[in-house]
């Protein structure tokens, strides 16, 4: 059998809804039809994509890997046949937080001047690859190591790290801090799109506890509420000020790479121009 777009749409609906019944309702199909489509796709791939039981449905490891490829393929197809995008297809630039730091505005302004026929859309997506692996954007500004398959990356610059503290914390009275001074605190970790993990500290000197959140907004809220401290890049302090959060330099923490990433297969035609401009803006700063 041959795989068609309906197989991809069906699988992605199942993955997003975590339910055959809800996926069927979303696609305006019967549940048996959705089950047959999924079974045909799994047979073609020779892999089980979804673990299903009476009360539980979850993607397998193969299903999670295929979800990203299916989303990218479907997005590429829909872009290709969308008449509105044929002439002036926007370049969608994703980021999980802080975009390009202090270079964000210069990049957007210069792009508008030099490439007026190709709009540059800056999109925040709470995801480790800022939606790039799922095909939601064409390129992404990311921080830290990027190991998702099928992506090309170029390091543009590095950023120092800062500690984020409740504004009334005794540590906020210090002009700078060390990682060791944070070990007695609960650390707030953004496990969806953030780069900080407990591995930032030596094994024998890690924070006492961790609190996980899913995005930058919840990260800031938790810190302002006194539930813990955080560590992020210096751009976070500049682009995400919060009255309840004090940022202090962490000079002993390793610098964080800032990279531009894009998909190796079928990149946006303006990708090379974006890479060159971003590199030039950093070099001329």
**The pLDDT value given to residue 208:** 83
Report pLDDT digits (tens) over 11-68. Answer: 998 988 888 888 889 888 999 999 999 999 999 988 999 988 756 788 898 988 888 8
Average pLDDT, the chain: 90
Mean pLDDT, residues 257-282: 93
Res 240: pLDDT: 94
- For the whole model, what pTM was predicted? 0.71
Instruction: Decide if pLDDT at 85 tops 60.
Output: no
pLDDT exceeds 60 at position 87: no
Q: Compare 141 and 150 and report the one with higher pLDDT.
A: 141
pLDDT greater than 70 at residue 7: yes
Give Cβ neighbours of residue 217 (< 8 Å, ≥ 6 apart): none
> Class assignment of domain 83-158+257-283?
alpha beta
Integer Cα distance of 111 and 151 in angstroms? 23
**pLDDT score recorded for residue 197:** 94
Q: What is the CA radius of gyration of the chain?
A: 22
Model confidence at 284: pLDDT above 90: no
Give the number of other CB atoms < 10 A from CB of residue 10: 26
- Give the separation between CA 110 and CA 116, rounded to whole angstroms: 10
Residue 244 Cα distances to 149, 193, 222, angstroms: 39, 22, 10
The answer to whether residue 169 scores a pLDDT higher than 90 is: yes
**Domain 5-80 part of CATH 1.10.8.60:** no
The pLDDT score that the predictor gives to residue 77 is: 79
Tell me the domain boundaries of the chain. 5-80, 83-158+257-283, 161-254
| Cβ-based neighbours of 276, under 8 Å, separated by 6 or more | none
Do 256 and 143 form a contact (C-beta atoms < 8 A)? yes
* Average confidence (pLDDT) over 187-215: 93
pLDDT digits 0-9 by tens, 218-251: 999 999 999 999 999 999 999 999 999 999 999 9
Q: Model confidence at 135, in pLDDT bands (50, 70, 90)?
A: confident
CB contact at 8 A, 130 and 153: no
Q: Do 83-158+257-283 and 161-254 have matching folds?
A: yes
CATH code: domain 161-254 is 3.40.190.10
Confidence of residue 86 (pLDDT cuts 50, 70, 90): very low
């Amino acid at each position: 059998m041959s795989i068609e777009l309906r197989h991809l749409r069906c699988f992605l609906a199942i993955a997003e809804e975590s339910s055959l019944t809800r996926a069927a309702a979303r696609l305006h199909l019967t549940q048996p039809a959705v089950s047959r489509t999924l079974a045909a796709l799994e047979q073609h791939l020779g892999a089980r994509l979804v673990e299903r039981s009476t009360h539980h449905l979850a993607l397998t490891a193969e299903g999670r890997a295929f979800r990203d490829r299916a989303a990218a393929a479907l997005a590429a197809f829909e872009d290709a046949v969308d008449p509105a995008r044929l002439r002036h297809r926007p370049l969608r630039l994703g980021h999980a937080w802080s975009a390009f730091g202090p270079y964000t505005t210069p990049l957007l302004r210069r792009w508008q001047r030099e490439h007026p026929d190709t709009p540059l859309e800056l999109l925040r997506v709470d995801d480790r690859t800022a939606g790039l692996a799922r095909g939601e954007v064409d390129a992404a500004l990311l921080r830290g190591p990027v190991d998702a398959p099928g992506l090309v990356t170029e390091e543009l610059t590095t950023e120092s790290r800062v500690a984020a503290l409740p504004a009334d914390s005794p540590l906020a009275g210090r002009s700078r801090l060390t990682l060791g001074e944070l070990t007695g605190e609960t650390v707030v970790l953004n496990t969806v799109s953030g780069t900080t993990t407990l591995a930032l500290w030596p094994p024998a000197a890690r924070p006492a506890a961790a609190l996980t959140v899913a995005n930058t907004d919840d990260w800031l809220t938790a810190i302002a509420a006194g539930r813990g401290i955080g560590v992020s890049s210096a751009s976070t302090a500049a682009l995400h000020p919060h009255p309840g959060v004090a940022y202090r330099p962490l000079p002993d923490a390793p610098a964080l790479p800032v990279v531009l990433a894009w998909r190796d297969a079928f990149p946006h035609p303006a990708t090379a121009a974006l890479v060159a401009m971003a590199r030039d803006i950093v070099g001329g700063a």
